[in-house]
Structure 1
Amino acid sequence: MLKDILKNYKVILGSKSPRRKQFLEDLNIVFESRTIDSQEIYPHHFKAEQITEFLAEYKSNAIHLEDNELLITADTIVWSNNKALEKPKNNLDAFKMLEELSNNSHEVITSVCIATTKKTKVFTDKTKVYFKELSSKEINYYIENYKPFDKAGSYGIQEWIGLIGVTKIEGSYANVVGLPVQKLYKELKNF
């Protein structure tokens, strides 16, 4: 179905994320990946979706498009205690983040930018995630065995920590993995 809508475009995914690539494959979208290495810097006063919307569009603007190309970029953060938890820098950083998420709730916020040379659309999805109390032993086990250094908030819900730690979610599971697929499908149909 999306094949017909996207038939006039060469679809580009502006992401290195294997999870985002898998989601597009699961939607039967033929695409190529194209990324740039850039620091994810945003104005320090931005909060919540202001951050992800800014970064999704920033990533989009950094990739040159031809007339027949459609680009999809995204950014995800974990919003906890009124601050962004991004990707951890090291084991200690990951431990502190997971300790903060333990026995608490947070929001996973993903913004997506769809762009062509003529048009740009940015949209956001939020999912509330609840964690049980995690022991230090569980947190260390997860960090040592799953090395969550490429994940916002230091965790992947689809991994061991999500299976044993997440007690409830309100919203899209796919959004927590890194791409609000249902919203993306709807926005691509209407683009």
Structure 2
Amino acid sequence: MLKSLRDSSLTGPHKVFTAVACIVPLELPVQPGYALEVNLEETEVYFKSDITDQQIIDYVATGEGSDAAGGYKIQETAGKLLIDRIEGDFFNVVGLPVESTIKLIKKTLAAAAADDSDESDSEFDDY
């Protein structure tokens, strides 16, 4: 897989995607009962095209990337050995795009608060 990522770097980067969904229940039992927001983060990773097969074999032998989705851990040795550059969120490649996730949580909480306040202004408040 790492050889394939290296070889394809001649034509461009590979892309790392992380989807995050945030759900906050509403205080009032109205349909659907929650606020839902989603985000899809995309980061382009450029492998060094001059990495040799032997360097890749040596990296794999360390076992560092054996439990990583792409076969490498950018935050460890692979970031120095295999990666030329990235475009996008570094933490997306690590596993969780922290900044966009925090923004998503805030957006979902605001949506839930707005839904709750909208419902409190309903026509049934007079009864």
* TM-score scaled by length of structure 2: 0.67
Which structure shows the bigger proportion of residues in helix conformation? 2
Q: Is the 8 A contact 2:44 2:86 kept in 1?
A: yes
Tell me the residue number matched to 1:163. 80
- Structure 1 gaps of 5+ residues are 1-96
Q: Any idea what SS the aligned residue of 1:157 has? A: coil
Q: Greater RCO between the two (CA within 8 Å, min separation 6)?
A: 2
User: What percentage of aligned pairs have identical amino acids?
Assistant: 37
Q: What amino acid maps onto 2:44 in structure 1?
A: K
Tell me the residue number matched to 1:21. none
Shift of 1:147: 3.8
Q: Any idea what SS the aligned residue of 1:176 has? A: helix
Counterparts of 1:111 and 1:146, CA distance in 2: 27
Q: What amino acid maps onto 2:15 in structure 1?
A: E
1:96-107 matches, within 5 Å, as: 97-103=1-7, 104=9, 105-107=13-15
1:1-191 matches, within 5 Å, as: 97-103=1-7, 104=9, 105-117=13-25, 118-133=34-49, 134-191=51-108
Q: Any idea what SS the aligned residue of 2:70 has? A: helix
Residues 175-184 or 144-153, more deviating: 144-153
Shift of 1:188: 1.1
- Structure 2 gaps of 5+ residues are 26-33, 109-127
Residue deviations 1:69-128 (CA, integer Å, cap 9, x gap): xxxxxxxxxxxxxxxxxxxxxxxxxxxx10011150201111112224423322110011
Shift of 1:130: 0.5
* TM-score scaled by length of structure 1: 0.46
Counterparts of 1:110 and 1:150, CA distance in 2: 17
Q: Any idea what SS the aligned residue of 1:130 has? A: strand
Counterparts of 2:18 and 2:60, CA distance in 1: 23
What RMSD in Å do the two structures reach over aligned CA positions? 1.5
Shift of 1:185: 1.2
Tell me the residue number matched to 1:79. none
Q: What amino acid maps onto 1:123 in structure 2?
A: N
